[in-house]
Amino acid sequence: MISKPDEQIILLGGGVAGLATGLELARRGRQVTVIEKGPVAGGLAQTFQYETPAGVFRFDIGGHRFHSHKPEIIGWVQDLMGADLLYVPRISRIYLSDDGKAGGKFVDYPLQFPGALSIFSPGQAVKILSSYAAATVRNRLDGSGPDVSFEDWVVRRFGRALYEVYFEPYTEKVWGISCQDLSADWAAQRISLPSLSEAVKRAISPGAAPPATIISHFWYPRLGFGMIPNRMKREIERLGGRVLLGTGATGVTPLESGGFAVTINDGRGSQILDADRVISSIPMNFLLACLPTESGSRQVAEDFKLRYRDIILIYLAIKTRQVSNDSWTYFPGRSLLVGRTHEPKNWSPLMAPDGYTSLAAEVFTSQGEPTWEQADEVLVQRAVDDLTGIGFMTAGSLHQGWVKRVRFAYPVYDIGYADKVKTVRQFLAQWPNLHLVGRTGSFRYMNSDGVIEDALRMADYLTGVRGEYVDVSQGYKVD
């Protein structure tokens, strides 16, 4: 057993990772304190509420849904949420056109053939299929070569034609860097090969069954995803733990005992908490900044700087009952501001008042880029103009709009990131009682199911259920 039953454990970050780890450890008798600098629990999994004369509109940060192929993880969330968890159909489409503007078509996402080819001329459609077929043959004959970049990985498996019309524009829009600079790891984790190959088979044999890897439903709390972290917080406190909101960690000082002195600040002043163990789900650069300068942490942070992608959320309250049936809608066109939308009322009827609906529109950008600096009203108008221009929204239907800027939304898998993460982990390993967990803390992309599983595996390891920590992120595949 790594963790003693009477240990004081401090968890940095009150998002899903920190709260799930804290809750599971509290259930196993540990004394836990979760430190969250934001005013509410949840981190990137918060739900925001806006009051208008028409009623209450609720929005998440992006579209958080819960799904897992593992009954243990589903059962854990179901036990936590009970009847508040809804079972929602997954319906996603992507808007494809030659230039990303009007005149395109909405087709099923993940791409389904032959529908995905219907927007292109017969010549272009043949080029895409023949390019894919040639790539498939080449990959089977010589698939042992290294894939360094995202472009390498996709072109090898799907052909250059499909890469140029689909994978390249959307991926570069999301990350703001060339696909040649994005690691092949991102493609391997995000793109399911069976979904495309089976889709081609269905184009030839229309009666074929859909790929098993494409999920048809997911779970979602009736008042927004933020219900999950709020329920975790409540349970931690019921078990005697603490969740300190509006409180940031400013120092993590290792002690000779193997524990730590953690300096926190709640805006009114600083205090020092003693911890036998620290578990971090905050960005690695924040954690390094908390460690003593004399440890070399600042130099590590500078030499092996890890990048995160920020995001802008444009929330649109709309005077209509429904925009579409979609769970998500993707907009890869470079000329369109918005990269993805979801309609919260399609996930739960309580997310918007009767007679209204809403859209959460995601803009992939980062602090310092021109789009990030634009005024809120400009961003709202741009989003509405784009979405009405392609016929997705009805002109004049906007009721009200809001904008939220979110830092450190996604870890960036640029080429060389894995070596940087390895170096930072090796540096942190000098403190055996300091652990990393979750998407942001471990710099590995996972959806909520992977984050929760990661938290449970960490608790298993620390309390002796497992002999070693199983890093869920290493084998995690996004559905």
Q: Where do you find CATH 3.50.50.60 in the chain?
A: 8-42+224-306+414-475
How many Cβ atoms sit within 10 Å of the Cβ of residue 72? 10
Which tens digits make up the pLDDT trace of 3-17? 788 899 999 999 999
What is the secondary structure of 211-262 as a DSSP string? Answer: PTTS--EEEEETT-TTHHHHHHHHHHHHTT-EEETT-EEEEEEE-TTS-EEE
CATH number 1.10.3110 is the correct assignment for the domain at 112-204: yes
Cα separation, 388 vs 394, whole angstroms: 6
Residue 138's pLDDT is what? 79
Which tens digits make up the pLDDT trace of 350-389? 999 999 999 999 999 999 999 999 999 999 999 999 999 9
Paired sense of beta strands 340-342 and 328-330, if any: antiparallel
Give counts: helices (H), strands (E), the chain. Answer: 16, 19
With 90 as the cut, is the pLDDT of residue 406 above it? yes
Q: Given pLDDT bands bounded at 50, 70 and 90, which one contains residue 99?
A: low
How many Cβ atoms sit within 10 Å of the Cβ of residue 272? 11
Query: Domain 45-92+218-222+307-411 has what CATH class?
Result: alpha beta
CATH of range 8-42+224-306+414-475; options 3.30.70.940, 3.50.50.60, 3.40.50.10800, 3.30.565.10: 3.50.50.60
Token pair belonging to 306 = 């890890």
Q: Where do you find CATH 3.90.660.20 in the chain?
A: 45-92+218-222+307-411
Half-sphere exposure of 236 (CA within 13 A, CB side): 30
CB 26 within 8 A of CB 4: no
With 80 as the cut, is the pLDDT of residue 477 above it? no
Half-sphere exposure of 383 (CA within 13 A, CB side): 31
Distances (CA, A) of 260 to 277, 313, 436: 7, 37, 15
Q: What is the mean pLDDT of the chain?
A: 89
Mean of the pLDDT values across residues 61-80? 92
Contacts of 310 (CB under 8 A, 6+ apart): 365, 366, 367, 372, 405, 406, 407, 408, 409
CB 44 within 8 A of CB 406: yes
Q: Where do you find CATH 1.10.3110 in the chain?
A: 112-204
Helices 448-462 and 71-81 pack at an angle, to 10 degrees, of 100
Contacts of 299 (CB under 8 A, 6+ apart): none
Q: Given pLDDT bands bounded at 50, 70 and 90, which one contains residue 115?
A: low
Dihedral sign from CA coordinates of 358, 362, 368, 370: negative
pLDDT above 90 covers a percentage of the chain that reads: 71
Greater pLDDT, 192 or 437? 437
Tokens 């080429």 belong to: 415
Which tens digits make up the pLDDT trace of 269-287? 999 999 999 999 999 999 9
Q: Given pLDDT bands bounded at 50, 70 and 90, which one contains residue 479?
A: low
Paired sense of beta strands 277-280 and 242-244, if any: unpaired
Residue 195's pLDDT is what? 45
Residue 352's pLDDT is what? 98
Which tens digits make up the pLDDT trace of 180-223? 999 998 888 777 544 445 544 444 444 444 444 457 899 999 99
270 burial via Cβ count (<10 Å: 0-12, 13-18, 19+): exposed
Which tens digits make up the pLDDT trace of 124-181? 788 888 888 888 787 777 766 788 999 999 998 888 988 888 889 999 999 999 999 9
Residue 466's pLDDT is what? 76
Cα separation, 479 vs 207, whole angstroms: 23
Cα separation, 105 vs 411, whole angstroms: 31
